Amino acid sequence: MSNAQWPPGYFAVGAGRVMRGRWRNAYNTNGGCKLGSCTRPRRLGHAKWALLLCVASLCSVHASDLPDEIQRVLSALDIPVENVSILIEDIDSGDQLLSHLPSVPRNPASVMKLVTTWSALEVLGPAYIWPTEVYFLGSFDGETLDGDLALKGYGDPFLVQEELWKLLRALRRTGLTTINGNLVLDDSYFDVREALPGDFDNQPERTYNVVPNALLMNFKAVQFQFRPDPRGRGVNVVSEPPLSNLEIDNRIALVDGPCGGYQRGISFNLPDALEAARVALGGTFSRNCRVYSLSRTALQHDTYAFGLFSALWQEVGGHIRGQLRDAEVPEDAEPAIVWSSRPLAEIVRSINKNSNNVMTRQLLYTLGAESFGAPATRENGIAAIMALLRSRQLDVTSLNIANGAGLSRDSRISAELLVSMLGAAMNSPYAAEFVASLSIGGLDGTTRGRFDSRSGRGRTHLKTGRVDHVSALSGYVHAADGRDFALAVFVNSEDAHRGLGQEVEGAVLGWLLAQ
């Protein structure tokens, strides 16, 4: 039966159909199909549709394989059982403690980072580092470079402000003070053909939407800090890092009233989203607010890198007379300095505990370059992951990676594949590094404060995920009797991201720890 033959409000999931919106709410445990109950619907005009659903056992499909405690939570939250996948497996024995629709491909949101980070550990090794090369393209007399200074990046995911400052301090130790030429930026190691930053959710200024770049600096982020002027003359705005090539148009009005509201009343706008050389700040800010900070992106990759380099180079006592130039470093040039990144083991810890999308996407490109050669592409990174999983005899039929970070409407993976991968990861030589990268339940990372002692505080290593109408949880549960379990919970249902999915995940985890 085609979609057109079903009444409005129905949509397909796998081989069946479930109800959403006003049609789902038209049925309840006393008069419709829910969790095994199947009687006449309130809307008699659609009784024939309910009858077809019940005959096909679609309303109660797989409900019986869920424990009562979990079924009650789903019922109370009005989440159809067809929209949930759960798999819990004993890692040592392989026994499945709970299995509910484990083979259905679901959107995992940021839980997809588990696939990318484990693949990186296996392919690259935990000690892998990214170089950033510095070249003198001209004559150097021990103090002045009569020519250009070039930077070539190889995709360091964590070339943040502090790391760049240390790189420039090392550069100063060569004696270099004055650069008479330009700053040449070479990001050719990545061949990036991504959608525009705002295509995911129409918010290009959000730091999680930054696209990869081989010479990514500081996640291309600017932290804006707002304070009421002590003389009552407006709102003072300070940006960090201070970029001389970024114009800040401050039109925020200082007002009376309570301190609160979205962004404390401040509006943030990039008038020219493609160039983003100017930030327009408006709205209102209460004089009762002491200080408020928000982090946003600005400028393009190259102009941001030039602005940050110029500010930090001046800070360490250097001078540059030229401007920005994008070009590849000559093949016969020898680097004056090679700066090394943090090792991969530290990088994956930052990624998984804090769910950093930008770093994960950088990692995907690195996998592509190391597996298939430069320039790196997203497609080659995905191919490298697929090849690894297949080499471990894992069925990748359900897997659609998109960008490796889970920041996508199209990412898919089954609970079955993810739990199988978690089992393989636990048996890997790099198991310790992988497990240590996950949030310790209730103690750090994205699960900080989320679980009490009964439901997993300190007894789990987990990765969370959430995008609109998606909530996911996966990782390891360390039982009191010494057994380790791999767990995956996917909730792909209306408003799952608004806390409903976390309720389901908490119920599953609580049930497991109570066994």
Q: What is the mean pLDDT of the chain?
A: 87
The β-bridge partners of 491 are 84, 471
Residue 381 resides in a domain: yes
Same domain, 104 and 205: no
Does the pLDDT of residue 450 top 90, yes or no? no
CA atoms within 13 A on the CB side of 139: 1
Domain hosting residue 53, numbered range: 3-61
Residue 240 phi, psi (nearest 5): -135, 120
Structure confidence by residue, pLDDT tens digits, 324-359: 999 999 999 999 999 999 999 999 999 999 999 999
The per-residue b/e assignment along 354-379, b for 16 or more CB within 10 angstroms, e otherwise, is ebbbbbbbbbbbbbbbbbbebbbbbe
The per-residue b/e assignment along 448-463, b for 16 or more CB within 10 angstroms, e otherwise, is eebbeeebbbebbbbb
Does the pLDDT of residue 35 top 60, yes or no? no
User: Residues 475, 350, 336, 317: what is their CA dihedral angle, to the nearest 10 degrees?
Assistant: 180
Read off the DSSP letter of residue 63: G
Same domain, 307 and 377: no
Confidence of residue 199 (pLDDT cuts 50, 70, 90): confident
Residue 261 resides in a domain: yes
Same domain, 368 and 309: no
CATH at residue 451: 3.40.710.10
Same domain, 166 and 54: no
- Identify the domain boundary among 324, 341, 358: 341
- CB-based contacts of 175, cutoff 8 Å, min separation 6: 142, 143
- Identify the domain boundary among 291, 316, 341: 341
CATH at residue 223: 3.50.80.20
Counted domains in the chain: 3
Q: Contact at 8 Å (CB) between 512 and 97?
A: yes
End-to-end Cα separation, the chain, in angstroms: 42
Same domain, 178 and 31: no
Structure confidence by residue, pLDDT tens digits, 156-186: 999 999 999 999 999 999 999 999 999 999 9
Same domain, 92 and 112: yes
- Residue 386 identity: M
- Token output for 498: 């608004």
| Per-position DSSP letters for 81-143, written without gaps between them | GGGEEEEEEETTT--EEEEESTTS-B--GGGGHHHHHHHHHHHH-TT---EEEEEEEEEE-SS
Q: Contact at 8 Å (CB) between 59 and 34?
A: yes
Same domain, 190 and 302: yes
> If we measure between CA atoms, which residue out of 241, 234, 230 comes closest to residue 266?
234
The per-residue b/e assignment along 133-167, b for 16 or more CB within 10 angstroms, e otherwise, is bbbbbeebeeebbebbbbbbbbbbbbbbbebbbeb
pLDDT at 27: 27
Alpha carbons 121 and 124: distance in angstroms, whole number: 5
Residue 199 resides in a domain: yes
Average pLDDT of the segment spanning 387-407: 97
pTM for the model stands at 0.85
Same domain, 311 and 178: yes
Residue 69 resides in a domain: no
Residue 278 resides in a domain: yes
Q: Distance between alpha carbon 275 and the CA centroid of its chain, in Å?
A: 24
Same domain, 457 and 486: yes
Does the pLDDT of residue 56 top 80, yes or no? no
Share of the chain above pLDDT 70, in %: 85
- Identify the domain boundary among 288, 323, 341: 341
Same domain, 98 and 160: no
Same domain, 311 and 166: yes
- Token output for 64: 């019986």
Same domain, 110 and 243: no
